[in-house]
Chain A
Amino acid sequence: MNRFFEQNLNKLSEFDPELAETVRKAAVPAQTLILTARNGRPTLAVNGVTLHSRVDPEAEAEALLESALILEAKTKGLIPALFGLGLGYQALALVRSFALVLVIEPDPGMVKLAFSRLDFTQALSRLRFMNAPSALDQLPAVLLTPHPPSVRLHQQAFHFWVERLEARRPAGELKKILADLAGWEELLGGFDPTRPVNLPGLVQAVHRRTGPLSEGETLVLLLHELTMTEK
C-alpha cells in the first residue's frame, strides 16, 4: 500500500472509525486490474470491464457534472448517491459541487483499492460510504447516480438500491417535485404524504378516477405503458 492509503485511512477514521478498520482488514478483489491511462493516471478494469477512461479518467469524471442527472440533483437540492466507487474519480468530482455525496460501495476491498491509488483526504469530510439501505433513513431526498460500468458489474445490487431509494420517497415529496404538471395535485391528493408511492399504485389511482384525463394522469399511464408492459 502506498502513502495515499495510510493518509486516507487516517482521515476516514476521524469520521467513521469502524469503516476505517473494516477497510484496513479488507482484501482487494482478486479480479481487479490496475492499468495506466494515456495521461499517466491509474485506471481500473474488473473482469475485463474498464471502470474508467483509459485516456483521461479525470476529464471523464468531470463530464459527469454536466449530465442531466447531476443537473437535476443541483436544481432540486438532492443529494447524489453514487453507485459504485471504482477508483473514486467520480466521487472526487462530485464533492466539488455538492456538500454531501453518498457512495454506495458494498465491497470494502474496493474502497481499499481506491484509497491506495488516489488522495481522498480533502474529500472525505463530504463523502459518506453506504453499505446498507437503513443508513439512508436519516437522509433527505437522494438521487441515485449510477456509474455505468459498476452497474454492468452489479446489476442486481443496483436494482435493489433503486427500489430501496424509490420506496423511501413519500407521496408529499413526489407531489413537490411534480407540482408543475397539470393534474398531479388531484392525483396525489389521495395518497398518504408520509408513505411511498410507486408506479403501479399511481396507475391504480388513475383507474379509480373519473372525468377527463389530466396531463399528469396520462403521463402515469404512458410511463406504465413504456416501462411495465411486456415489450
Chain B
Amino acid sequence: MKKLANEKKILVIQLARFGDFLQTTPLLAALKAQHPQSHLAVLVNSDQKAVAFSNPHIDEILTVNLAELKRSVEKPLGLSGQIAALSEAVKFLTRRRFNLVINLNTSRLAALLSELVQADERRGPRLGTDRRRLDTAPWADLIMNLMIRRRLIRFNLVDLLVCYADIESRPTDGLVYPLSSRTRARAGAFLGPDPGRPLVGLQLGSRRLSRQWPPENFAALAARLMAEHQAGIVLLGAPEEKSLAETFLQHLAANDPYAPSRIINLTGRTSMDELAGVLAHLDLLVTTDTGPMHLAAAVKTPILALFIGPAFCHETGPYGPGHLILQVRTECSPCLEKNAGCDHFCRRLITPETAAQAARWLLSRGRTEPPGPADLGDQVSLLMSDLDDFGVVYRPLAPNRLAAADLKALAYREAGRRFMRPAYRLDLNRLVRDLNGHDRACVHELKNFSKTLKKMERFLLEKNGDPEAKVRLFQAAGGNDDLEPLAEIVFSSGDRIRSQGIGQMIGDMARVSAWLAALNEGQPHPAAVGPTASEALTQTGPEGGV
C-alpha cells in the first residue's frame, strides 16, 4: 500500500458500538505513530462521541445519528424530497476530502457513507465493481470466508483492524483509554476508602440474553468470593441493567440476608469516564463479552471473561496478556446472534464453582491451582491470553483439549497472517508450542504441512501478478463440520484452483500470500521456477487438488 506523507488527512469510519470503538484504538494509535503530523478524523455513531472524545490520537470527531438518518428519510417526502433530505443530512461528508479513508464496518450502509467522502485512497469494505456486493482486500476476504466456520478463526478483531494501518508487527500498547488523575479520584469516591481487600467487579448484563451468564450464577460466585477472599463486590452496568442487578441481589440475599448491604451497586450510576476509573481500581473484573470488558482491558485490569453463545474469545476476547477466559465449547458454539428457538442452555455450562476457581487463580496471581479438566467438563475450555509476534492469542490452560479443529485453526492463523503482515515468517516451533506438545500426531502433521507450505511457496512465487485474484475458504458441500474445508483461488481470468484438505489448503494460502508479497515488491520473485497458474490449472483441472 502507498505510504502517506505525514501531513495528510485520514478518516476512520467506525459506526459500531462502544466496545468496537475501543477495539479500533490500536489502529488509531498506529496511524498516528506512522503519520504524526496527519489530521486524524473519525466518523462514529453519535452515541459513541464520548468514548471517541477520550482518545488522544483523534484530531476531529464526525458523528452521524443512524437512527435519525433513517427517520429523516422515512418522512413522506416523496422520492425527490427523500433524496434532498438525505443529501442535506450527509452534506457534512460530501463536502470533505481526505487522503485516506478507512472503513472498518462490513455493512453496506457504512460502505456507502464512506463513498460519499472524497478520497485519494480507500481501505476496508467498499462497494464492488458490480455495485452490489462489498469488496475488500484479499486478507479481509479470507477472514470473511473463515467466518463461515467461526470456530476456525484465531484472529482477534483488534489485530485485524490494525492491519489497515499496514504495520509490520503487533500493536504495541493494546487498547487505549487514558485516565486522568481526576477521573481516578472521582472513581475512588464511588468505592470509598481502600478496604485492604480485593475488589472484584461484576458486569452482569450483555447485549443479548444468549450471551448472558445467569444472575443467580453471578450471585453464587459473589458469595464464594466474599466468603473465601473477603472480596469487595462492585456491580457495574448500564441503567437498563438495573433489573438484572435487583435479581442478583435477591439471589444473594437468599443465603445471606446481610450480603446485599455489602455490595457496592454502581449499576446505571457511572458515566463512561467514571466507569473506566472504577475499573482501574478493581483487582478483577468478571464479565461476559461486553464493552466494559474492553474498557477494563484498556485500563489494564485483570479480566475473567465468560464467553457464551455467539461470543467467541478468539475473535473478540480481552486484549492483552494474562486474562482468563472460560469459553463454552458445544457442538453449536459459537452460534449465530439470532438463534431463535434455542433455550440458551450453554449459559449454564460454566458453573459458579469453576468461575470462582478461575477468579481465585487470578486474584492469587497463579499461586493457586486453575480449574482442571475435571472442573471444566467436556463443554467448557479455559484459556489464557498471551501475545505473540502478530497479536493476542488464547492458549488453552487445561491439557488434552486440542481437537482437529484447533489444529486447523492454528494452521489458518499461521498461514493467513502472512496475508496481513507480509514481513511475518512461519514459526513452526511456535506452532508446536501452541499445541503444548500434548498431541504428538498433531505435531507430526504440522511438520508435513510445513513441507507442503514451502513447496507451494515456490510454486506461487514465480507467478505473474494478478491483483484481482480472490481467495475463498469455505466448507465443502455436505462436508463434515470443520473437517472438510475447501480453499479456492479465483484468478481474474476466471481460472480457479480448488483444493481440499488441510495440508493443501495451507499450501494454497501460503502460495497466495507469497504471491502477494511478490506483488508488493513489484516484480516476480528471483527464485521463481515452475509452471504458471494457467499451466498448473491445465495440469490439475479446475476442480483438482494442487
Enumerate chain A interface residues (CB-CB to B < 8 A): 69, 72, 143-144, 146, 151, 158, 162, 165-166, 169, 173-174, 177-178, 181, 197-199, 202, 206-207, 209-210, 213, 215, 217-223, 225-227
Contacts and interface: CB of A to CB of B under 8 A. Distances in A.
Given A206-B131, A207-B130, A227-B74, A218 B80 contact: no
24 contacts: A69-B77, A72-B84, A144-B78, A158-B76, A166-B78, A169-B79, A177-B80, A178-B80, A181-B87, A207-B132, A209-B131, A213-B115, A213-B127, A217-B131, A219-B83, A219-B87, A219-B116, A221-B127, A222-B116, A226-B73, A226-B74, A226-B86, A227-B70, A227-B73
Contacts of B83: 178, 181, 219-220, 223
Contacts of A223: 73, 82-83, 86
A67 to B, nearest CB: 11
A206 B112 CA distance: 13
A194 to B, nearest CB: 16
Nearest to A209: B131
Contacts of A169: 78-80
B69 interface: yes
B109 A222 contact: yes
A225 B112 contact: yes
A198 to B, nearest CB: 7
Contacts of A210: 129
Nearest to A73: B81
A226 B78 contact: no
Contacts of A221: 108, 112, 127, 131
Contacts of A143: 78, 81
Most interface-central of B78, B82, B86 (chain A CB within 10 A): B78
Given A207-B132, A226-B69, A218 B112 contact: yes
Contact of B94 (A199, A215, A226): A215
Interface residues of B, number: 28
Most chain-A Cβ atoms within 10 A of its Cβ — which of B81, B82, B113, B129? B81
Contacts of B405: none
A215 B97 CA distance: 13
A222 B76 CA distance: 17
B90 interface: yes
User: Sorted from nearest, which 10 A-B pairs have the closest CB atoms?
Assistant: A177-B80, A222-B112, A218-B115, A162-B76, A166-B78, A226-B70, A174-B80, A226-B73, A225-B109, A207-B131
Interface residue SS majority, chain B: helix
Contacts of B131: 206-207, 209, 213, 217, 221
Nearest to A69: B77
Contacts of A225: 108-109, 112
Interface in B61-119: 69-70, 73-74, 76-84, 86-87, 90, 94, 108-109, 112-113, 115-116
Nearest to A197: B79
Nearest to A222: B112
A72 B132 CA distance: 33
A213 B78 CA distance: 23
A166 B79 contact: yes
A50 B29 CA distance: 55
B84 A222 contact: no
Contacts of B109: 222, 225-226
A173 B87 CA distance: 17
Given A178-B84, A222-B112, 4 more contacts: A144-B76, A169-B80, A178-B83, A215-B116
A221 to B, nearest CB: 5
Nearest to B85: A68
Contacts of A226: 69-70, 73-74, 86, 109
Nearest to A180: B87
B98 to A, nearest CB: 15
Nearest to B94: A215
Contacts of B116: 215, 218-219, 222
A197 B82 CA distance: 13
In the complex, which of the residues A69, A166, A223, A226 has the most CB atoms of chain B within 10 Å of its own CB atom?
A: A226
Contacts of B94: 215
B222 to A, nearest CB: 38
Contacts of B132: 207
A174 B77 contact: no
Output the residue of A144, A177, A222 with the most chain B CB within 10 A: A222
B113 A199 contact: no
A146 B74 CA distance: 13
A212 to B, nearest CB: 9
Contacts of B87: 181, 219
Contacts of A173: 80
Contacts of A202: 79
Contacts of B79: 166, 169, 174, 197-199, 202
A199 B87 CA distance: 15
B78 to A, nearest CB: 5
Contacts of A198: 79
Nearest to B69: A226
Contacts of B130: 207
Contacts of A222: 86, 90, 109, 112-113, 116
Nearest to A146: B76
A26 to B, nearest CB: 27
A20 to B, nearest CB: 30
A146 B78 CA distance: 12
A219 B127 CA distance: 13
A144 B80 CA distance: 12
Nearest to B115: A218
Contacts of A218: 112, 115-116
Interface string B286-297: 000000000000
Contacts of A174: 79-80
A164 to B, nearest CB: 11
Nearest to A177: B80
Nearest to B71: A226
Contacts of B84: 72, 177-178
A162 B78 contact: yes
Nearest to B108: A225
Interface in B226-245: none
Contacts of B86: 219, 222-223, 226
A69 B81 CA distance: 9
Nearest to A231: B70
Contacts of A146: 76
Nearest to A213: B115
Contacts of A72: 81, 84
Contacts of B70: 226-227
Contacts of A199: 79
A84 B116 CA distance: 38
Nearest to A229: B108
B466 to A, nearest CB: 21
Interface in B359-400: none
B281 to A, nearest CB: 40
Given A225-B112, A226-B109, A227-B73, A165 B82 contact: no
B404 to A, nearest CB: 37
